[in-house]
Amino acid sequence: MTVFGGNRYKHMKVSIFVVITILFATISSSSGYACYAVIAGKNATADGSVLFAHSELNSGIRFLNFRVVPRIKYEPGAMIQLTNGGTYPEVSESFSFIWSENFGMRGSDSYINEWGVACASDGTRTIEDSREELIKRGDIIDGGIGYMLRRQVARRARTAKEGVHIVAELIKRFGCNFLGVTLVIADPNEAWVVSMAGGQHWVAQRVPDDDVVVLANVNIIGQVNLKDTNNFLASPGLIEYAIKRGWYDPDSGKPFNYKNSFDKPGKGWFDIQYGCDSRQWRGQCLVTGESIPIPVKENLPFSVRANRKMTVSDMRDILSDHLEGTEFDKTEAYTSGSPHDLISSGDGGICSQYNQEAAVFQLRNWLPAEIGCVYWRTTAASCSDVLTPWYLGITETPEIYYYQYDLNENLTAEFHFDPPAGTYDYNPEKAYWIFNTLENLVDMNYQKNIGKVREVWEEYEKNEYAMQAVIEEIALNLYKKDKDLCRFFLTTYSATIANKAVEKAKNLNNKLRTDLFGA
């Protein structure tokens, strides 16, 4: 794929911008590491797409770089340099991808590549031994692989299942550096959940087409049928290893269960009292529309049947939940303060002040990937922010959404973990800080401010959803005549919508500052 660029279509920029503008006007926590995912199979959604929602939550001062990486060709013999010293042969040409980079974090980047393969991860603790012990017995080789694992899926996989096989290949070669992590790999046809215990051991389960999977920071793959390779894949000897470690007794009469064998039980009050993870329970309640009885006698199921066909809006609403209206709601209709201060992830709060991004990957197989796959995303807590659509066909993002560091340097692990001075500094010209400011201002008087903000964003998102079919019809017509022009149109549209959202966020910031400090 040639990177889109040059002067060929620049004279059309004004016309396309005008078209987009007219269309828009016409239709116009206790834990600092508590990521979350919701995955809906294609028969469980309103439009037949695979929907993969993911929120990235980490403590500390962060910065997310949101940029497009083009295809890159490599010379024969080129090697990938892994974080801890290992090397691996490069592909002759890597696929392009949209990349949300969370500088300094090992497991917090999100990707969607040119084929519509999306990948993100959640930490899921296991009872596996320490990294030092895994190295000692040869289960981690040449430093292992961790941070670069999702990147290789984005660079090499044409389908989600192929992504699982790439993970398997790399884990076999190096061993997993994480002592418990779960990747979600989704494409326009299906999605897979891949859980790794550290070292050489992993298992993967396909998301049922008719169901919805909720993934908090807890292992959710239960009973495994390794004969059913359409729905399960695993590392060689997984069950034998569990038997050897004393984690599974084949004489018990019970089938092998990955969660029961490898999971490290939570120690929070909800886990102890009710026998399940609070956020997994809450998410499944939101999907089914029912209050699932607690305490649970067995594990919560891997997937559940939704009480409606899921939409992008439904997925973002789940990521924005603070237990409102439940017996566990501590806010008293927000009169007691911000839910971000009163409800932790251990209580079952899904939305948090630690949220750097909420994403919904809308993956549709009946359109060209450039048009059919959309990376909807917010910056900061999703309850006070707005989803904006980034079509897979875009060739760049506006500079307000990223620092334009040299791409070759930016792609190295060294750069990721040690970015230039000032990367984390507050910058009022970057979207990341503008939306974080809005979140913090809302939190100062959540009861009074959230309604003002949600009114603006709900109208904005309503317009976006209404415009989607029109934009995609135009894009498809362009695609049939000139793919590069189609990509130019989608790039201009996505940038226009996102930049307008930034301007609205700035206006909201000024209004809330006036209300809070103007008296």
The β-bridge partners of 99 are 67, 111
- Confidence (pLDDT) at 322: 96
Task: State both tokens at 193.
Answer: 């959940």
Assign 3-class secondary structure to 353-420.
Answer: CCEEEEEEEEECCCCCHHHHEEEEEEECCHHHCCCEEEECCCCCCCHHHCCCCCHHHHCCHHHHHCCC
N-to-C CA span, the chain: 57
pLDDT tens digit sequence for 66-100: 999 999 999 999 999 898 889 999 999 999 999 99
Looking up tokens 């990938």 gives: 80
DSSP per residue, 182-242: EEEEE-SS-EEEEEE-SBT-EEEEEPPTT-EEEE-SS----B--TT-TTTEEE-TTHHHHH
Fold of 10-517: Penicillin V Acylase; Chain A (3.60.60)
What is the domain partition of the chain in residue ranges?
A: 10-517
DSSP per residue, 50-93: EEEEEEEEB-SS--EEEEEE--EE--TT-EEEPTTS-EEEPPSE
| The residue type at 383 | C
Q: Which residues contact 488 (CB under 8 A, 6 or more apart)?
A: 4, 9, 12, 13, 16, 395
Predicted TM-score of the model (pTM) = 0.94
Distance from C-alpha of 472 to C-alpha of 146, rounded to nearest angstrom:
37
Neighbour tally for 415: CB within 10 Å: 17
- Confidence (pLDDT) at 266: 86
Distance from C-alpha of 381 to C-alpha of 350, rounded to nearest angstrom:
10
Q: Tell me which DSSP letter residue 299 carries.
A: P
Under-70 pLDDT residues of the chain: 1-33, 519
Neighbour tally for 439: CB within 10 Å: 22
Task: State both tokens at 412.
Answer: 């190295």
Residue 15, judged by CB atoms within 10 A of its CB (0-12, 13-18, 19+), counts as exposed
**Which one, of 215, 205, 203, lies nearest residue 248 by Cα?**
203
Distance from C-alpha of 109 to C-alpha of 146, rounded to nearest angstrom:
12
- Confidence (pLDDT) at 274: 96
Q: Classify 130 as helix, strand or coil.
A: coil
Distance from C-alpha of 1 to C-alpha of 183, rounded to nearest angstrom:
27
- Whether residue 106 contacts residue 145, with contact meaning beta carbons closer than 8 Å, is answered with no
